[in-house]
Structure 1
Amino acid sequence: MIHPSLIKKHRLIMLILFVLIVLTMIVSMGLGYSTLSFDRLLPTLFGQGTFKENFVLFSVRLPRIVITLLAGMALALSGSILQGITRNDLADPGIVGINSGAGVAVALFFLFAPINAGSFIYLLPVMAFVGAVLTACLIYFFSYNRKTGLQPVKMVLMGVGFSMALSGVMVVLISSAPREKVDFISKWLAGSIWGADWPFIWALLPWLVILIPFTLYKANRLNLLSLNEPVAIGVGISLNKERIVLLLTAVALAASAVSVTGGIAFIGLMAPHIAKALVGPRNQMFIPVAILTGGWLLVLADTIGRQVADPDGLPAGIVVALIGAPYFIYLLLKK
Structure 2
Amino acid sequence: MNKQRIIKQRIFLVIFALLLVSTMLIAINAGTAKIPINRVIQTFLNNGSFNEQFIIFKLRLPRIFITVLAGMGLSLSGAILQSLTRNDLADPGLIGINAGAGVSISLLFLFIPLEPGLFTYIVPLVGMLGGMLTAVLIYLFSYERHRPLKPLRLILTGVGVSTALSGLMVVIISSAQREKVDFIAKWLAGNIWGTDWPFVYALLPWLIVFVPLTFIKAQKLNILSLSEGVAIGLGVAIKKERLLLLLSAVTLAASSVAVTGGISFIGLMSPHMAKRLVGQRHQLFLPLTMLIGGWLLLVADTLGRSLINTIIPAGIIVSIIGAPYFIYLLLRDVD
After TM superposition, the score normalised by the length of structure 2 is 0.98
2:40 corresponds to: 41
Taking the aligned partners of 2:275 and 2:319, their CA distance within structure 1 comes to 21
Residue 110 of structure 1 deviates from its aligned partner by 0.8
Taking the aligned partners of 2:58 and 2:169, their CA distance within structure 1 comes to 31
Residue 105 of structure 1 deviates from its aligned partner by 0.5
1:94 aligns with 2:93: yes
SS where residue 47 of structure 2 aligns? coil
Residue 308 of structure 1 deviates from its aligned partner by 2.3
1:303 corresponds to: 302
1:30 aligns with 2:36: no
What aligned pairs does 1:1-335 form with structure 2 within 5 A after superposition?
Answer: 2-311=1-310, 313-335=311-333
Taking the aligned partners of 2:224 and 2:266, their CA distance within structure 1 comes to 22
After TM superposition, the score normalised by the length of structure 1 is 0.98
Taking the aligned partners of 2:71 and 2:113, their CA distance within structure 1 comes to 30
Q: Name the amino acid aligned to 1:127.
A: V
Residue 147 of structure 1 deviates from its aligned partner by 3.2
Residue 114 of structure 1 deviates from its aligned partner by 2.6
Over residues 7-58 of structure 1, what are the superposed CA-to-partner deviations in whole Å (9 max), with x where a residue is unaligned?
Answer: 1111100000100000000011112111111121111112211111111111
Residue 238 of structure 1 deviates from its aligned partner by 1.2
Taking the aligned partners of 2:172 and 2:185, their CA distance within structure 1 comes to 11
Taking the aligned partners of 2:160 and 2:123, their CA distance within structure 1 comes to 25
Taking the aligned partners of 2:211 and 2:94, their CA distance within structure 1 comes to 22
SS where residue 145 of structure 1 aligns? coil
SS where residue 328 of structure 1 aligns? helix
Taking the aligned partners of 1:17 and 1:73, their CA distance within structure 2 comes to 13
SS where residue 48 of structure 1 aligns? coil
Percent of matched pairs sharing the same residue: 57
SS where residue 150 of structure 1 aligns? coil
Aligned structure 1 segments of 4 or more residues deviating by more than 3 angstroms: none
Superposition CA RMSD, Å: 0.8
Over residues 87-106 of structure 1, what are the superposed CA-to-partner deviations in whole Å (9 max), with x where a residue is unaligned?
Answer: 11110000000000000001
Taking the aligned partners of 1:280 and 1:148, their CA distance within structure 2 comes to 31
Matched pairs, number:
333
Residue 132 of structure 1 deviates from its aligned partner by 0.4
Residue 127 of structure 1 deviates from its aligned partner by 0.3
Residue 60 of structure 1 deviates from its aligned partner by 1.1
Over residues 78-123 of structure 1, what are the superposed CA-to-partner deviations in whole Å (9 max), with x where a residue is unaligned?
Answer: 0000011111111000000000000000110111113211111111
Residue 232 of structure 1 deviates from its aligned partner by 0.4
Q: Name the amino acid aligned to 2:316.
A: I
Q: Name the amino acid aligned to 1:310.
A: N
Q: Name the amino acid aligned to 1:321.
A: S
Taking the aligned partners of 2:328 and 2:219, their CA distance within structure 1 comes to 29
Residue 148 of structure 1 deviates from its aligned partner by 2.6
In structure 2, the gaps of 5 or more residues are none
